[in-house]
């Protein structure tokens, strides 16, 4: 009996309305994220059956290969879209075809096979994001596999009918294709495997959003604690009754919280940069130059542009926390007030790590764009993959959002609301009558 009374009391304390609301929000978030992931998986599955190919060889064998691609494999029938590629400007050709990747069977394909040589194949793909699931070009990858299988079958049938395979022929069967991989980044192309580019950028794609997330998390907590503690200890009343400008008090708080958050971010950035995640991968000798040619190196300009976004995000988070801090009735309630902010941070954080946000359905995409932090999470992608309009648009939106937040924060801090906001919330919640104040 006593135990259950105690349990009931503890549950009442811990399972308050804010906690329940947060649980509902988390469920919503998980469903949304699940939906996004499922959609990405579905798209990948659909993509794997769509093959875009150009037959420049135009021989009996290449036509037979195209036919082979169309034939059902394990009950799955591929949709083969044959296109014309008329130039070496693969970026333009991809755009013209309206696809993310295609495969070219070049001239001399049949000839090479008949001469017992490796047959050339050109695999062109666009790299558009650093997100984990964004660079899957399933259809073209399936095509390369199937072409390889078709060539193997042809060699096997042809050679075995003429007797035993020579050592050279056996070697050819192991690797019948010479795949030249052309990767497009923005409007530039290079003969480099996309997986190598992704691997070299992987650590940055992982830790940049993480640093932004930490920056928001720590900055917000520092600020909300600073404001609510000052309010609850009444040191704020003491300070604001002294001959000191409220704007000075406000800006000192903002700058101090920003410095602390930046110090934390710097520590994390240095620490993560030192984690050599690429040590096990061997890169070609000219890889660095290829990266430079594709604009994938992080120069001062890139860091500066990302830094501007980070600064804006931090200032937005700080001003929101400052507003929320004014409504805090206790330290515990200040942490609860932070939960919605954390929610709108974690959604774009997770989404940008997994998916190229620009590839999401319109409604979902714009929903994410409304969250100002999204633009910082995708800033690296926007800068290095040439999505300039998205970067600038995001920057303008963030500036406007910051102006609104700062205006509200200044309004609260320079008016009665800094002292009365939490009382108003209390009155609203409990429907208390007048004369609530001593």
Partner 1 sequence: MANEEKAVLEVEHLSKQYKKGVYASQDVTFNVNKGEIFALIGPNGAGKTTTIRMIATLLKPTEGDAKIGGYSILTDAAKVREGLTYLPDEAGAYKNMKGRQYLQFMSEMYANSKEQAAEFVKTAEEICKLGDRLNDKIETYSRGMIRKLLLARTIMPKPLIAILDEPTSGLDIINALEIRRMIKELAAEGMSFLLSSHNMLEIEYVSDRVGIIAHGHLLETGKPSELLEKYEAQNLEEVFEMVVNNSEIL
- 428 scored as a contact of partner 1 (CB under 8 A): no
- 239 scored as a contact of partner 1 (CB under 8 A): yes
Distance CA 402, CA 319 (A): 8
Distance CA 51, CA 140 (A): 6
**Region class of 51: left (phi > 0), else alpha (psi between -120 and 50), else beta:** beta
Contact 123, 179 (CB under 8 A): yes
| Binding range to partner 1, per CB under 8 A, among 118-126, 134-142, 322-330, 416-424 | 416-424
Kindly tell me which residue out of 86, 166, 170, 238 binds partner 1, with binding defined by CB under 8 A.
238
C-alpha angle 360-366-367 in degrees, rounded to nearest 5: 100
| Binding range to partner 1, per CB under 8 A, among 63-71, 342-350, 365-373, 414-422 | 414-422
| Binding range to partner 1, per CB under 8 A, among 62-70, 239-247, 250-258, 272-280 | 239-247
Burial of 319 (0-12, 13-18, 19+ CB in 10 A): buried
Question: Binding string to partner 1 for residues 175 to 214, with x set by CB under 8 A, is what?
Answer: ----------------------------------------
| Binding range to partner 1, per CB under 8 A, among 9-17, 122-130, 362-370, 411-419 | 411-419
With CA atoms as reference, report the closest residue to 327 among 416, 235, 421.
421
Residue 221 C-beta: closest distance to partner 1, Å: 16
Kindly tell me which residue out of 244, 252, 331, 370 binds partner 1, with binding defined by CB under 8 A.
244
- 425 scored as a contact of partner 1 (CB under 8 A): no
| Binding range to partner 1, per CB under 8 A, among 43-51, 124-132, 324-332, 429-437 | 429-437
- Alpha carbon of 125 to those of 26, 99, 122, 140: distances in Å? 36, 9, 10, 8
Kindly tell me which residue out of 133, 419, 425, 426 binds partner 1, with binding defined by CB under 8 A.
419
Cα(first)–Cα(last) distance of the chain, in Å? Answer: 40
- Alpha carbon of 145 to those of 123, 127, 150, 209, 254: distances in Å? 11, 20, 9, 34, 57
List phi, psi (to 5°) of 217.
-60, -50
- 251 scored as a contact of partner 1 (CB under 8 A): no
Residue 38 vs 235, nearer CB to partner 1: 235
Residue 12 vs 430, nearer CB to partner 1: 430
Chain residues in the site for partner 1 (CB under 8 A): 233-235, 237-245, 415-416, 419-420, 434-438
């Amino acid at each position: 009996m006593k135990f259950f009374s105690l349990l009931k009391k503890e549950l009442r304390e811990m399972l308050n309305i804010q906690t329940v609301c947060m649980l509902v929000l988390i469920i919503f978030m998980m469903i949304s994220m699940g939906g996004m992931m499922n959609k990405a998986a579905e798209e990948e599955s659909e993509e794997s059956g769509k093959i875009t190919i150009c037959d420049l060889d135009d021989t009996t064998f290449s036509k037979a290969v195209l036919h082979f691609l169309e034939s059902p494999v394990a009950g799955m029938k591929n949709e083969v879209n044959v296109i014309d590629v008329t130039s070496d400007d693969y970026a333009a050709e991809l755009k013209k075809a309206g696809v993310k990747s295609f495969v070219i069977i070049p001239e001399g394909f049949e000839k090479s096979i008949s001469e017992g040589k490796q047959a050339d194949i050109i695999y062109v793909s666009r790299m558009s994001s650093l997100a984990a699931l964004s660079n899957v070009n399933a259809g073209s990858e399936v095509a390369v596999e199937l072409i390889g299988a078709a060539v193997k079958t042809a060699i096997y049938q042809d050679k075995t009918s003429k007797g035993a395979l020579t050592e050279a022929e056996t070697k050819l069967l192991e690797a019948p294709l010479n795949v030249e991989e052309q990767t497009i980044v923005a409007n530039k192309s290079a003969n480099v495997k996309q997986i190598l580019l992704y691997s070299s950028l992987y650590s940055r794609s992982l830790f940049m959003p993480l640093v932004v997330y930490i920056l928001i998390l720590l900055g917000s907590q520092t600020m909300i604690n600073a404001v609510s503690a000052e309010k609850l200890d009444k040191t704020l009343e003491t300070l604001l009754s002294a001959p000191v400008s409220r704007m000075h008090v406000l800006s000192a708080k903002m700058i101090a919280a920003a410095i602390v958050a930046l110090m934390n971010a710097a520590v994390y950035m240095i620490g993560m940069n030192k984690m050599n995640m690429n040590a096990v991968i061997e890169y070609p000798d000219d890889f660095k130059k290829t990266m430079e040619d594709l604009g994938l190196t992080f120069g001062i300009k890139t860091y500066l542009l990302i830094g501007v976004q980070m600064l804006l995000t931090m200032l937005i988070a700080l001003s929101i926390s400052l507003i929320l801090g004014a409504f805090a009735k206790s330290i515990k309630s200040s942490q609860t007030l932070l939960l919605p902010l954390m929610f709108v941070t974690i959604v774009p954080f997770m989404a940008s790590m997994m998916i190229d946000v620009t590839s999401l359905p319109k409604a979902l995409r714009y929903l994410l764009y409304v969250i100002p932090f999204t633009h910082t999470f995708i800033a690296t992608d926007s800068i290095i993959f040439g999505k300039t309009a998205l970067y600038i648009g995001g920057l303008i939106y963030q500036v406007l959002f910051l102006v609104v937040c700062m205006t509200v924060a200044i309004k609260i801090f320079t008016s009665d609301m800094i002292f009365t906001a939490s009382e108003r919330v209390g009155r609203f919640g409990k429907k208390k009558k007048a004369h609530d104040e001593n």
